[in-house]
Amino acid sequence: MKKIIALAAALLSVSSFALSANDSWDTIKAEVKANPSLEISSGYSVFVGRIVTAFDVCVDGDNFNTLSQYPIYERKWIGGSKESDRYEDIVVGYEYLSFPISREVTRKVCRGKEDRNCKTVTSTETQQVVRDITVSKITRVAGRDRDDKKVELFSKTFEIPACL
């Protein structure tokens, strides 16, 4: 009897269907969250002052805005001597983040460590609103020389929605 109950619990815990690119993003995210051997492996990160997922931003004109708030940290000194000062990051509030989709970036470009003729180069960086996001399955390998295998299951397009 115990074996039957254990078998039934094991069958219920296993996903009853396989994921595919035809499934909705809500279904894919729920399945990835519930199954540790699945992961959204590439194409989902967006920079808004810090890196967040494409599922947590919306497009507002020429900017990405976050849908949820992120903590604001302040560094406080909590004591110590000159050799071992101790600091702690304390949350002092929360804020929504906003960042331009396209921006100009200026970089200093040198040919090597000894180059004294460095140039300042200005370029435009644009983050994509339509993303190709990859879902992968990880096969864990036990043993001393552990080398997990990652197999790409599928890629699916995700368009970052407009803010309401």
pLDDT at 70: 95
pTM for the model stands at 0.71
- pLDDT tens profile 107-143: 988 887 777 788 899 999 999 999 999 999 988 777 6
Contact yes or no for 76/90 (Cβ under 8 A) = yes
Instruction: Give the count of beta carbons closer than 10 Å to the beta carbon of residue 80.
Output: 10
Residues 58 and 61: their CA atoms lie apart, in Å, by 10
Residues 97 and 124: their CA atoms lie apart, in Å, by 21
Instruction: Report domain extents, the chain.
Output: 18-78+87-159
- pLDDT tens profile 77-90: 887 666 666 788 89
Contact yes or no for 13/148 (Cβ under 8 A) = no
- pLDDT tens profile 36-48: 889 998 889 999 9
pLDDT at 7: 44
pLDDT at 3: 55
pLDDT at 19: 85
